[in-house]
Structure 1
Amino acid sequence: MALNWKLVIDSADAPVLADFWAAALEYEVEDPSPLIEQLLAAGHLPPEAVREHNGHNTFRGLAGIRHPEDPFDPLSGAGHGRRLLFQDVPEPKSVKNRLHIDVHGVPGELEALVKRLESLGAERVHEVDQGPAGHWWVMRDPEGNEFCAA
């Protein structure tokens, strides 16, 4: 039986990085505010564990995004399919990522994809040209994590 998974990405500001990747991938930012309100009301969550972001309560240091067509839990907002979870860590990014995301756009429209990603806060690092096999851009998200746009 195949296993379910999510990709967890260390961050300095989880909600901000989740906003970038949700826009880049056209995913939904998970909204845990109904669950947070229940936990706060029951006394199971201290107020300092909560942060407001874009008009919603979120868990401090955590933010998730999910594919808009995949099922999700309406109470927690957590996706049950393709999902990225961002978690704040105290140390800054210091080396090249060993795992990265490849963003694939419409064939023949790489420049439009790259410009859209730049408008969201990404930056181009360098272009990789594989001749007849095609080319792509190595880019960085707003926190410096490398990814490829193809």
Structure 2
Amino acid sequence: MSPEREEVQRRLFSAYKTFLKRDRVLLELDVNERSLTHKLAEYLQAEFTDWDVDCEYNRNGDIPKRLQVQTTVTDDTDAHTVFPDIIVHHRNTKKNLVVIEAKKTSSTRAVADTEKLKAFIAEYGYQFAFAVVFPVGPHASDANPSTDITEVMV
């Protein structure tokens, strides 16, 4: 049985608080986004012990899991393949619980994470989707799960 919305959010916030307690220095140093999502995923695995937690997972059973999204912010009209930053799921099944897209406050990515998250919900049936914005550099001291994590719904 899948956890309810409040339980999922509680676990995500708990993992983020652990990340801040143990690894805030990564935010201060403005390290690569993949380093940040990897550490957050480690703490999520401790919260979702009956689930698999993966970064940039690209499988849907035995076929690649990917979205074809089009940018709308720039003049680029080509589709780009994207993978979710972090997912909580059961591998080799269609049980997809949480999808997370993350970015740093210093990011200039053109494709809106909200649109990607909505597409992951629609195409792969994720029950919950969250955008995480990591405050980096001088803003690292402002990190807080209630302001850095936003649920996205279709």
Asked if Structure 1 and Structure 2 have the same fold, meaning a TM-score greater than 0.5 normalized by the shorter chain, the answer is no
Structure with the higher strand share, 1 or 2: 1
TM-score, with structure 1 as normaliser: 0.31
Structure with the higher helix share, 1 or 2: 2
Higher relative contact order (CA 8 A, sep 6+): 1
